[in-house]
């Protein structure tokens, strides 16, 4: 068991399980794009570890950029999603894959889709390491899902509880 601020967390998903899930995501995306060079867009802060490991498993030419969004306060998602760092790259005619650490309510995805609508993108796909099916309230298709999890708050592997816990190499679940 570990403690972050006022809460305790118990081990939930091992580093090895995470790595297998990411390897599988990378292989699925690789198979889909053939010789085309996709642009991966990592969603900061949470996705930095996923993106890094995903890129290491992706064995064909690819490009990378980051966008920064924030919607969480403490352990609950808020409805207001803010864009803190935007994309400054020309994405017209490109195939773009958004790489998320976790999809919860889907509010962030809606905002992301909206942001990319104005750009003349060829196709926009969504990949996420973790997905909470019970919390998901939108009808946007998620193209690649690593691991589906129950509707509980998790930390580690990039995911934080009020900024702590991002450095943990495995994932922990809130102890309730
Ligand atoms: P959504 O907009 O889908 O509700 O939430 C997406 C964002 O909220 C994620 O990219 C992540 O930053 C944060 N988030 C959602 N669920 C969790 C969770 O269980 N733990 C942590 N630490 N962050 C989460
Ligand atoms: Mg995120």
Q: Give pLDDT, residue 119.
A: 86
Rounded CA separation 151/149 (Å): 7
C-beta 154 within 6 A of ligand 1: yes
Mutate to test the pocket of ligand 1, among 13, 72, 133 (most ligand atoms within 8 A of CB): 72
C-beta 107 within 6 A of ligand 1: yes
Q: Give pLDDT, residue 82.
A: 64
Q: Give pLDDT, residue 80.
A: 61
C-beta 158 within 6 A of ligand 1: no
pLDDT tens column, 86-144: 788 899 999 999 999 999 999 889 988 988 888 899 999 999 999 999 999 999 999 99
Domains and CATH numbers, the chain: 21-26+37-171 (3.40.50.2020)
Whether 162 is catalytic is no
Q: Which helix (H) or strand (E) holds 147?
A: strand 144-148
**Which listed ligand is nearest to 164 at the C-alpha?**
1
Instruction: Identify the active-site residue in 19, 79, 101, 104.
Output: 104
Q: Which helix (H) or strand (E) holds 57?
A: helix 48-57
Burial class (CB in 10 A: 0-12, 13-18, 19+), 132: buried
Q: Give pLDDT, residue 8.
A: 98
Q: Which helix (H) or strand (E) holds 61?
A: none
pLDDT tens column, 2-33: 999 999 999 999 999 999 999 999 999 999 99
Predicted TM-score (pTM) of the model is 0.93
């Amino acid at each position: 068991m570990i403690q972050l601020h006022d809460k305790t967390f118990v081990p939930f998903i091992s580093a090895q399980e995470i790595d297998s899930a990411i390897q599988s995501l990378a292989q699925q995306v690789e198979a889909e794009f053939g010789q085309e060079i996709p642009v991966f867009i990592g969603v900061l802060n949470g996705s930095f570890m996923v993106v890094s490991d995903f890129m290491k498993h992706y064995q064909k030419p690819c490009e990378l950029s980051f966008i920064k969004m924030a919607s969480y306060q403490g352990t609950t998602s808020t409805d207001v999603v803010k864009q803190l760092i935007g994309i400054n790259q020309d994405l017209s005619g490109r195939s773009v894959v958004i790489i998320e650490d976790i999809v919860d309510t889907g509010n962030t995805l809606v905002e992301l889709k909206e942001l990319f609508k104005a750009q003349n993108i060829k196709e926009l796909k969504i990949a996420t390491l973790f997905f909470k099916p019970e919390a998901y309230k939108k009808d946007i298709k998620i193209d690649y899902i690593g691991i589906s999890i129950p509707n509980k708050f998790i930390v580690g592997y990039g995911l934080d509880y009020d900024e702590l816990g991002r450095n943990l190499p495995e994932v922990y679940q809130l102890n309730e």
